[in-house]
Amino acid sequence: MPLGARFTQLKQVHGKAIQVIGPRADADPRPEADGLVTAMTGVVLCIFTADCVPVLLADSESGVIGALHAGWRGALAGIAGAGVRAMVRQGARPGAIRALLGPSIGACCYEVEIELARRFQHAYAHVHPSDRTDKAYLDLRSIVAHQLAAAGLAREGIENIGPCTGCESERYFSRRAAGGAVTGLQLGFIGRFPA
């Protein structure tokens, strides 16, 4: 990375608030939000995840970039759409935005209470039955991809590049695989620099 790069990060709160990074350094170095968007060069947007979905977004036409932390609360609140709308306000075009979904808990390992699954099932078909009647499996990455497509991204512009953190807990941090214990976090980041 070039010298002088400005790294930005958040106090992530599992919501859908998006922080726009402008030319001035904000007074609060870690604002409460779960997404970052900028149209500036020389800025690196950083998010941290263990089982939540890291979403990196870029519109190469306008130069607008974004980074989102999408857990189930953020997904239920619509963080993916909020992130795209924030990028559009900075000059991005939804059809030009490409998205990368990184390592996160997969539907194979993300068993949740049936009440939570039902909250998603009404809007998304990405809930799978469990052997237990009080549980279901949630496909968080597919839900986020669906939200991105609904916000105007082309399906072929949404790429899932990460494995399941639960299945690959030897390589990636996973609080689910650790039985809820505090673990480390993966860093997802995106930046744009002058040529």
- The residues spanned by each domain of the chain are 6-105+140-174
Q: Which residue has the tokens 């939570």?
A: 116
pLDDT exceeding 90 applies to what percent of the chain? 68
Q: How confident is the model at residue 129 (pLDDT cuts 50, 70, 90)?
A: low
SS3 at position 26 = coil
The answer, yes or no, to whether residue 44 has pLDDT greater than 60, is: yes
Domain 6-105+140-174: CATH superfamily, name plus number: CNF1/YfiH-like putative cysteine hydrolases (3.60.140.10)
The answer, yes or no, to whether residue 132 has pLDDT greater than 80, is: no
The answer, yes or no, to whether residue 26 has pLDDT greater than 60, is: no
CA distance 47 to 55: 9
CA distance 67 to 54: 7
Check residue 17 and give its pLDDT.
96
